[in-house]
Structure formats: C-alpha cells, structure tokens
Amino acid sequence: MMETFSLLPLEPVQWAWGVVLFWLALGFAALLLQRVPQLLSRLVFPLGALGALFIAGVGVAGLLLPASTIVLPIGLPDLPFHLRLDALSAFFMVLLGGAAFGITVYASGYFKSMAGGPLALLALWYHLFLGGMVTVLLANDAYAFMVAWEVMALSSYFLVTTDHKVPEIRRAGFLYLLIAHVGAISLLLTFGVLQGGQGDYTFDTMRLAEMTPFWASVAYLLALFGFGAKAGMVPLHVWLPEAHPAAPSPVSALMSGVMLKTAIYGLLRVTFDLLNIQIGWWGTLALALGLITALYGVIFAAVQSDMKRLLAWSSIENIGILLAAFGLTLIFYTDGKGALAALTLTALLYHALNHAFFKGLLFVGTGSVLHATGVRHMGHLGGLMRFMPWTAWLTLIGALAIAGLPPLNGFVSEWLLLQAFLQTPGLTQPYLNMVIPVAAATLALAAALAAYVMVKFFGVVFLGQPRDPALHEAHEAGWPERLGMLWLAAGCVLLGLFPAQVIGWLAPVVSLLTDQTLVNDGNWLMLAPISAERASYAPLIFFAVVAAVLLLTFVWVRRVYHGRVRRSDPWDCGYPEQDARMQDSAEGFGQPIRQIFEVFMKVERETPDPFSRSPHYHGASLDKAWFIFYVPIARVTNWLSEQAGRLQHGRIQWYLIYSFATLIFLLVFTTR
Amino acid sequence: MSLTYHLQIVNLLAALLLLISFAMLSQRRIAGLITLFAWQGAALTASTALVAWSTGQHHLYYTAALTLVLKVIAMPWYFFRIVKKLDVDRDVEPMINIPTTMLIGIVLVIFAFNLALPISELSGTVTRSTLGIALATVLLAFLMMITRSKAIPQVIGFLAMENGLFFAATSATYGMPLVVELGVALDVMVGVFVLSIFFFQIRETFDSLDLKHMEKLKER
C-alpha cells in the first residue's frame, strides 16, 4: 500500500498501519498453518508479540512527533479510511503495545497444548483483535472507527467463546455480544449527532462543527452510554463477570487490560477532541457514575470465590476509578482550572497504563494456576506458592500493585488522583465543593477495599495449605509464560519507581486535551504535583527504605530471634493438628463485606441441616443490578413479543382478514 | 353514437361481473364455483374486446385473447381435473353462513362505489363509471377467500380478485401495457401451478384440503 523501499522516512501512522496489516497477514497465515500447531505457538504468537512491541515503539514516536495522518483507499467509494496518530492515540498505543507484548509472549506458551484447528482460529481472532484495537486508536473518521470497533467486538466475541461447547460460555459470549452491540448503536448515534447535519463523517469536520449545548449534551450522553457499555460502567457491567471467566486467560488479560481502555480513549476523544464545548454537569455525572462503579465493583470483587470473576469485578472497580478521574478532569476543565485538570488527566492516563500492566499480569497469573490445576474456584486452591514460585511471586507483584501499595505503580496513580481530589476546594461551585470530599472518601474506600480483595485473592490461592491433594501435582508455568509475566511485572515496578519520567512522557497528551501540562515541582527523583510544599513522593527513596527495613527484619528474625533456644508447649497452643480445611476460605474472607454491603446484593444461601450426614453448603451473592435493570427489560420484551404472537393464529382466514382490514383502512384513509 | 351502445353493453357486462361475484360468494359446490369463474372470465373477455373495438386500443385485443385462453379455457379445465383427481367435489360449508356473507358483500359494494366516485372523476376513459364495480369485484373476491376454509375455493377467490383488478385496469386506464399484462398472466399461471402442488402436499399431509388443519403448524 504505502510501503516504499526506504522505510525510514515513513510517518508513525504508516508504521502503525503496517503493523495492523502484518497482524492481519499473521492471522490468516495461522489458518494455513493449522496442520502444524507447534509452529503456530512457536512462531505466530512470538511474531505477533514483536508486532505489539513495535506498536509500543510507534506509540513512543507518536508521543514525540507531531500528529501524522494518512487516507487509505479502502472502505466505501466516497468514504475512504482516514487514519491519524496524535499524542492521545500514541499514548494508548504505548499502553496497548506494552501490555499486549507481555500477554502475547505469555500466550505463545499458554496455548501450546491446543489442537491445530482451534488454535489456528484463535490465532486469527487474536491478531484481528489486536489489529482492530490499533485501528480504533488510529481512526480519524466515524466510519473507520465503527468498522474497527466492530472488528474488535466480534473478534473478541469469538475469543470469549473459544470453548464454545460449554453452554455457560456460549451464554456469556451472547451477553457480551448483546451489550457490545447496544453500545455500538449508541456510538453510531453519537457520531450521527456529532457530524451536525453536514453529512461528512470525518473527525476533522466534527472538530470544526459548532454544536449547541443541547446537542453537545446529547452526543456526550450517547457516548457515555456507548463507551460505558464497552468499559463496564454500572449498570452496563453485567457482561464483564460473565465474559472474563469464560475467555482463555490471555484473552481476558487483553480484554480487561487493553480493550476496556479503548472505551476510555473513545470517551476522551469525543469529549475533549471532537466536541467543541464541554459542560460542567457532564463531569459531575461521570464522577458519580464512576464512583458508583468503583464501589460496586470492589464490593462484588470481595465476595467472589472464582478467581477470574474476582478479577473481572476488580476491573469494573478500576474502570470506575478511571471514569471518576475523567469526571473530575471535566469538572476542573470547565471550571477553568487548567493545571488541576492536567493533574487529574495525568492521574487518569497513568492509572489506565498501570491497570493494563497489573490486571494483565494478574489475569495471566490465574491462567497459569488454571493450567496447573484446572480449577478456577478458590475453594479448591491454596498453598500454590510452594509449587509455582515464579507465578506466585510475579502475581504477588501484580497484587501489591493493584492494591495500591508503594513503591509499585498502582500507588502513584491513585495518589495523584487523591491529590487532585484534595485540590477541589479551589472550585467555584459551592455544591461541588461540599460533595467532592465525600467522593474522595468513596474513592479511598474503594482503594482500601481493593487491597482487601487482593489479600483475599493472593492469600487464598497461593498461601496456606493446599485445599486439595491434587494440588501437590501442580506444575510451574513454562518459560514463555514466565517471560510474559516478567515483562508485565517489570512494567509494574518501573512505572512505580520512575513516575517523574512517565509524567514527562504523558505531557504531550495532557497538553493536547487540556492545553496545559502537569508541573512537576520535584526533580527526577521526586514527584510533586502542583507544588512541593503540599505533597511529594520519592519512590526510589521510599523503595530503598522499604528494602532496608525488610532486610533488617529478615536478618533479625533469622539470626537473632530464631537463634535462641525455644521451648514449645506439649499442647501446641491448642492447635494439636491443623489441616487445610481449617483455613479461612474465600467465602469466609469475604463474609464481613457481604454482611456490611448486603443491600447491594441478592444473597442466596443454602445451609445444611445440623443432622445431615453429608452436609452441603451453598452460598452465592448475586448482582442486584441484574434483577433491577435487566430482568424487567427481558420481561417487558417477552411480554411484548407474546402480545405480538397473539396475532399469529395459524388460520389462513385470519391472515386474510388482516390483509383485508389493512386494505380497507388504506383505501379509506389514503383517498381522503 | 355507437359509443353509447357500446358503453351500455360494457356497463351490462360489468353488472354481470358483479352478479357472478355474488353468485360465487353464495356457491357451495366447487364444480359450480369453477364454472362461475369461467363465466366471469368470459364476461371479462367480452368487455375487454368491446372496449378495444370501441376505443381502437389494439393491444387490448391481445389482452382479451389472453384472458380467454387462460381464464376461460385453461384454468377451469385444470381445476376440474384437480377436483376430479382429488375427489373433493362436495358441499363446502363456508365459515360464515351465506346470507350474512351476502349482506357483508352488499356493504362492501356500497363502500367500493363510494370509494371509486372521486377516483373515476379523475380518469379520462369512457368506461370510468365501471371502476366502482371493478373495485367491488376485488373486495368480494377477497371476502370469498376469507369465508372459505378449503384450499381450492381460496385459490379461485384469489384468481377472481385478479379478474377484478384486471377489469379495474381496463376501465380506468384502458389496460396496462401489454408487457405488464403478459407478466401478470405468467404470474397467475405459475401461481396456479405452485398452488396446485400445494394442494397435493396438503392433501397428503392432512388427508384433507381443509385449511383449518394448518393451525397445527402454529408455533406454540
């Protein structure tokens, strides 16, 4: 297409499109290679991973270089694909490439035991999915955007239903497809409003369109709904806890880590770039929805006992945090507080990047556990740290990062966001001034609960004693898996240790959207948003202190404490024997949360009879949103279709009467 | 001068058409129905030929010939054969009793005449006054389809409806272009063949041509 023999003078957008084509070719080559599955996992996926790394490089180049565009001669006759790579797209491309590289390297090991045919199809959908996501980021007209968006949705649907022989998985896939398409319709309408009657669907035209506040609000609300459906905003989140456990782990990692971010990208693109006005209440709405989503997600994460479902709910929580940050950015921006908007947006982008890394890491970690044990339910796991040290330690890094502990990356973004919340007294609207501290408290609660969730996740799966004798057979993940996890874990650590540098790289994006950049009042070692007197964070020093304390404690315990002679009681402190069934279970750990937040859930409990010989306990905390929003919609639809079904008598005379009545009606009313 | 006589005759034939429609509505036996259908075709042929002669629209002669061959000779003969083969020439009990049907028919005719009045004023043809009758024929044929429960009367009703439309076309605009007429004739022929295949299939499946058995096909 655009490739010439001298590749160097090409612009970043052309490189990016080249990678998309490469992935497409790779996907279709995979179909031809289905007779040799070894080649598929050893060649196709590593090559795909290289493509992802390349995309990350292109993204870095895009952050440094000015925006570049191309028009591709594909698509409809009058509507070619317009592609554009600006700083915002470039940032999300770094996110995509960085996370997808680790995940795809992992996938090359994870899928190696699959049979040729299904594996070839999976490789096809996988690379189409990657290509679709990159094209979503590149699209510069509504048509290309929708095509790429649908490619992304459909290929991920096929990835979710990889094990399509299981009915629950088909059901999960259908739910995902349904909500994805409801969202896509809403996006289509958004673009319809955005083009403002000019009939030209390029983003360039939309940027210039002058919208009235009413129509701009309509476009914003439609976009919030459409992108919210993809991101998993409450109450459109129901597909996430179903689809993520159904999909193979690298796919869940990619969907949760990267795909959800394309929705955030779209929201930023439409609100700050395509719309020419922004209104304050939009931000308040997004903030409220985001906080609800965050809290709702983390509460449900706490009561899950399926590890992938737990991570899916945790993704909902993180999307909530991102939405809240988005809302706060809008509030600051419309209030004329450019510097604070820049701070919040930096926190948002940083958190999106972090989430891609640690959630990707955690999902592939569960994939290794699943491969080793074949179990997703945490009640049958435990003590895996002894058998799978690599997986356990690397997952621990991810768990600590998502829990927001310094010096890892999760802390940096959440800290930045809380800093932004603490700056709200500067706002000119008194009501917001009063309400936002509550919002900050909610966010802090969600962050604390996230840590609780991670203690549960890591503790139940990896610590303690194995709850099942079969777990002694658990085997460590292979080298490609370890490498993939290592990459993602390294991302978590480095993003946590060098925030000042990362924020420097984010500056072009932030200035593109808010016309201002975050001023780092510190130096390369220290992060100090707005002003150093107020708050600052020096992760390297912090890390050094943590490491020193750890080392000292270790030495003290090993050399001094254990060095002494110890006596132990004959009664063994009341623990004469302790077995795996005496450990705290996943349900038990979540019990307090379930008690406190019972209003949010519909709890199903089946307790055993005290005299039962084989006691059986069953407990499930169901999502109330399902019963409040979805069941009534399904009922109304069903009722309407039943009413329409009454027209169907099966007697030909009745059908003739329908035609006859229609004929008479039309004759009477059209000849008036 | 002769045009007035011709018009009188065309009006007479139109009245005959309407009369035959009512007769079909009241006819219980299938064989009688087929005969009536053939007579309706004959009246249509005569009126079309007369209009062709009096107005000098030569293509209408072809139309008249086509009608004669198809609707007076071929189809009635074919239907008689089917009836004999399927052995279904018995009394047909209509869904609504015949006097009521006739009353509904009269209401429909009044409705059709009312409806046709403003339309026929727009038309520039000499035969425009018969438009109401044509419309009434269509509606009556439709009514017959609704009130019969057996398959063959329904098909005849369908064809009678086509006759009415045809007559409407002739009276309002001196017929459609010949190509269209040929197309419609072909459609009717193919339709009859397809439906006759259905007769045999329905008969084979339900041992009867009574369409009420087809209620079983409804999705529960």
Domain edges within chain B: 2-217
Q: Is A75 helix (H, G, I), strand (E, B) or coil?
A: strand
Instruction: Nearest by CB to A656, from B146, B215, B219: name it.
Output: B146
The pLDDT of residue A571: 66
pLDDT band at A570 (very low <50, low <70, confident <90, very high): low
A641 CB near a chain B CB, below 8 Å?
Answer: no
Collect all residues of chain B within an 8 Å Cβ-Cβ radius of residue A669.
Answer: none
Q: State how far the Cα of A382 lies from the Cα of A372, in Å rounded to an integer.
A: 12
Q: How confident is the model at residue B172 (pLDDT cuts 50, 70, 90)?
A: confident
Task: Say if the Cβ atoms of A671 and B154 lie within 8 Å.
Answer: no
Closest to A450 measured CA to CA, from A319, A317, A304, A325: A317
Rounded average pLDDT over A396-415: 92
Residues A650, B119: C-beta atoms closer than 8 Å: no
Asked if pLDDT for residue B1 goes beyond 50, the answer is no
pLDDT number for residue B3 = 67
Question: Poorest-confidence range of A108-117, A288-297, A561-570, B56-65?
Answer: A561-570
Confidence of residue A6 (pLDDT cuts 50, 70, 90): very low
Per-chain mean pLDDT for chain B:
83
Which range scores top for mean pLDDT: A122-136, A333-347, A545-559, A622-636? A122-136
Residues in chain A with CB shorter than 8 Å from the CB of B216 are 650
What pLDDT does residue A401 have?
Answer: 94
pLDDT at B28: 83
Strands A79-85 and A68-76, by their bridges, are: antiparallel
Q: Which two tokens stand for residue A363?
A: 């999902």
| CB of A667 less than 8 A from some CB of B | yes
Tokens (6 digits) for A78: 């009058």
The nearest alpha carbon in chain B to A657 belongs to B146
Kindly report, residue by residue over A471-524, the tens digit of the pLDDT.
888 888 889 999 999 999 999 999 999 988 898 889 889 988 888 877 776 677
pLDDT tens-digit readout, A453-470: 999 999 999 998 888 888
Give the orientation angle of helix A338-373 with respect to helix A260-268, to 10 degrees. 170
Give the nearest chain B residue to A656 (CA atoms).
B146
Residue B2: what pLDDT? 62
The CA radius of gyration of chain A, in Å to the nearest whole number, is 27
pLDDT bin (cut points 50, 70, 90) of residue A584 is confident
Q: Poorest-confidence range of A288-292, A326-330, B69-73, B96-100?
A: B96-100
Give the per-residue pLDDT at A79: 79
Q: Which region among A62-66, A565-569, B174-178 has the lowest average model confidence (pLDDT)?
A: A565-569
pLDDT of residue A365: 94
Q: Which of A649, A656, A671 sits opposite B115 (nearest CB)?
A: A671
Residues 129-188 of B with CB under 8 A from A: 139, 142-143, 145-147, 149, 154
**C-alpha to C-alpha distance for A358 and A365, rounded to whole angstroms:** 10
Does A594 fall in a domain?
Answer: no
Mean pLDDT of B168-182: 77
Q: Which residue of A has its CA nearest to B118?
A: A671
Q: Does residue A417 lie within any of the structural domains?
A: yes
Nearest to B214 among A650, A659, A667 (CB): A650
Tell me which of A639 and B2 has the higher pLDDT. Answer: A639
The amino acid that residue A664 corresponds to is: I
So what's the pLDDT on residue A153?
95
Closest by Cβ to A651, choosing from B115, B142, B212: B212
Give the C-alpha separation, B77 to A290, whole Å: 78
**Most A CBs within 10 Å: which of B109, B114, B123, B146, as the mutation test of the A interface?**
B146
Number of A/B CB contacts below 8 angstroms equals 38
Examine residue A602 and state whether it is found in any structural domain, yes or no: no
| Residue A652 contacts B, CB cutoff 8 Å | yes
* Cβ-based contacts of B211 with chain A (< 8 Å): 651-653
Torsion sign over Cα A173, A176, A181, A187: negative
Determine, yes or no, domain membership for A149.
yes
What length is written for chain A?
A: 672
Distance in Å, alpha carbon of A663 to nearest chain B alpha carbon: 9
Dihedral (Cα; A372, A374, A380, A386), 10-degree rounding: 0
Q: Does residue A5 surpass a pLDDT of 50?
A: no
Alpha-carbon distances of A148 from A14, A20, A134, A412, B96, rounded to whole Å = 17, 11, 8, 33, 60
A668 touches chain B (CB under 8 A): yes
- The Cα A162–Cα A218 span in angstroms is 38
**Residue A327, pLDDT score:** 94
Judged by CB atoms closer than 8 Å, whether chains meet at A653 and B216 is answered as no
pLDDT exceeds cutoff 70 at B117: yes
Closest chain A residue by Cα to residue B212: A651
Alpha carbon of B44: minimum distance to chain A alpha carbons (Å): 24
Q: Do A653 and B147 touch (CB under 8 A)?
A: yes
Percent of chain A with pLDDT over 90: 54
**Taking the model in full, what pTM does it have?**
0.80
B207 touches chain A (CB under 8 A): no
* A71, pLDDT greater than 60: yes
Residue A641: its chain B contacts at CB < 8 A?
A: none
> Does B39 score more than 50 pLDDT?
yes
The total domain count for chain A is 3
Inspect the interface and report whether the beta carbons of B143 and A660 lie closer than 8 Å. yes
Q: Are A351 and A359 in contact (CB under 8 A)?
A: no
Closest-CA distance of chain A to residue B215, Å: 4
The chain A residue lying nearest B95, using CA atoms, is A653
End-to-end CA distance of chain A: 60
Find the CB nearest B146 among A649, A653, A667: A653
Closest C-alpha to A99, from A503, A491, A493: A491
CB-nearest partner of B211 from A652, A659, A667 = A652
User: What is the model's pLDDT at position A573?
Assistant: 66
Which of A99, A131, A1, A565 has its CA nearest to residue A354? A99
The contacts of residue B193 (CB under 8 Å, 6+ apart) are none
User: Which residue from A minimizes the CA distance to B142?
Assistant: A660
| Residue A54: both structure tokens together | 């390349």
- Nearest chain B residue to A663 by CA distance is B139
Mean pLDDT of A550-572: 78
- The answer to whether the CB of A383 falls within 8 A of the CB of A389 is no
Residue A559 included in any domain: no
Is the pLDDT confidence value at B218 over 70? no
Residue B211 contacts A where some CB pair is shorter than 8 Å: yes
B216, A650: Cβ pair inside 8 Å? yes
Q: Considering only CB atoms, which chain A residues are within 8 Å of B146?
A: 653, 656-657, 660
Chain B residue with Cα closest to A642: B220
Q: Do A671 and B119 touch (CB under 8 A)?
A: yes
A644–chain B Cβ distance below 8 A for any pair:
no
- Residue B209: its chain A contacts at CB < 8 A? none
Question: CB count, 10 Å around CB of B35?
Answer: 17
Q: Mean pLDDT for chain A?
A: 88
pLDDT in tens, A76-129: 777 789 999 999 999 999 999 999 999 999 999 998 888 878 899 999 999 999
pLDDT band at B171 (very low <50, low <70, confident <90, very high): confident
Residues of chain A contacting B119 with CB distance shorter than 8 Å: 671
Residue span of the structural domain in which A633 resides: 623-670
Lowest pLDDT segment from A35-39, A201-205, B22-26: A35-39
Say if residue A337 is in the same domain as residue A204. no
**Chain A residue with Cα closest to B139:** A660
| Helix residue ranges, H only, A335-388 | 338-373
In eight-state DSSP terms, residue A620 is: E
In whole angstroms, give the CA distance from residue A46 to residue A417.
36
Tell me what the mean pLDDT of segment A178-206 comes to.
Answer: 90
Length of chain B: 220
Determine how many CB atoms are found less than 10 A away from the CB of residue A627.
11
Judge if A287 and A365 occupy the same domain: yes
- Chain B: residue whose CA lies nearest to A654: B146
Q: What is the pLDDT of residue A93?
A: 95
* Closest-approach residue (CA) in chain B for A668: B115
- The predicted-structure confidence for A242-280, as pLDDT tens digits, reads as follows 999 999 999 999 999 999 999 999 999 999 999 988 998
pLDDT of B118 higher than 90: no
Residue A1 pLDDT exceeds 50: no
pLDDT band, residue B182 (cuts 50/70/90): confident
Among A214, A227, A240, CA closest to A146: A227
CA angle B139, B145, B149 (to 5 degrees): 155
* B12 CB within 8 Å of a chain A CB: no
% pLDDT > 70, chain A? 96
Asked if residue A476 belongs to a domain, the reply is: yes
* pLDDT of residue B210 exceeding 90: no
Cα dihedral B39, B44, B50, B56 sign: negative
| pLDDT at residue A152 in the model | 95
Q: DSSP of A442-501, one letter per residue? A: HHHHHHHHHHHHHHHHHHHHHSS--SSGGGGG-----HHHHHHHHHHHHHHHHHHH-HHH
